[in-house]
Amino acid sequence: MQTTYRPRRPLDLRATVGALQRGPGDPTQRHSGGVIWRAVRTPSGVATLALAPQGDGSVRAAAWGPGRGWVIAQVPALCGGLDSDEGFDTSLHPLVRDAFARHRGLRLARTDLPFDSFAQAVIEQKVTVRQAFRVWRRVVTWHGERAPGPVAMFAPPPPSIWRTIPSWSWHRAGLEPPQAKTLVMAAARADAVERAVRRGTSAGEQGATSPDPLLSFPGVGPWTAAEARIRSLGDPDAVSVGDFHLAHHVGYALVGSRVDDDGMLELLEPWRGHRQRVIRLIMAAGVREPRRAPRLHEEDHTAR
């Protein structure tokens, strides 16, 4: 099944959809020869999706598998077609203004796969990105499903499999027991997790002050909730409070010095409604607080 998506605004496909890839060895997404490949478990079944940018700014999409109709229909959202920057004031800071001008094709992708995004976020809790990507790669390869199509990829397992992964397999993959427990318990209530992801974003858009429903699940904090919404729903306002480096980078970019989470939220407040957009533009601009110590040396004592 094939289609051509013609975005109404400039689109940087790699910056938009490529941001969803969990490291260079991600079995669910890769970039090869200018084409982005994704292996997805849809409500209609597993599918492989190929996205190829064209010279006229359009995107050629092809899909294989029982879920091909779902992924083809979801291409506009995946490519940021539902992302609106209406009301986004770039004049509030020169870095934001310049980054927005240079990266007009940067959109916020929406996968519409809340549980998969939630599972990724849980795996990425309190570890380095390399460690998290390694766990994701192992768990999906060992327990996911081979995706149809011309490339060798794996779709994430369904919640019914997540909840039955044995403790020894989590250990072998390198996931700590608290995160494994959170995933297993959440998988047993997958429908409730997905409803909470969607309700939380809707409540935020309406300015509600009620507690985030995702936080009622054991082992889930503000960082996990925000990351799940950013990836699955393209939430333009979600802020990943609790990230080890994010506040430092935002502070350095906007005022030239590191700040804590409260300081970051204060700096981003003028852009409420588009705070995630500001963060993405800062990252796209390549502004980072200078490293103060050598990179942490990681040791893997699990799988061999």
Structure confidence by residue, pLDDT tens digits, 29-82: 999 999 999 999 999 999 999 999 999 999 999 999 999 999 999 999 999 999
pLDDT beyond 60 at 303 = no
CA distance 105 to 35: 17
CA distance 276 to 295: 26
Model pLDDT, residue 153: 97
Q: Judge whether 226 and 265 are in contact, CB under 8 Å.
A: no
Model pLDDT, residue 206: 41
Q: Which domains does the chain have, with CATH numbers?
A: 2-284 (1.10.340.30)
pTM check: above 0.75: yes
CA distance 260 to 293: 18
HSE-CB for 224 with a 13 A CA cutoff:
28
Phi and psi at residue 59, to the nearest 5°:
-125, 125
Average pLDDT over all residues of the chain: 91
Q: Judge whether 224 and 125 are in contact, CB under 8 Å.
A: yes
Give the length of the chain.
304
pLDDT beyond 80 at 255 = yes
Model pLDDT, residue 289: 76
pLDDT confidence band for 204 (50 / 70 / 90): very low
Other residues' Cβ atoms within 10 Å of the Cβ of residue 86: 6
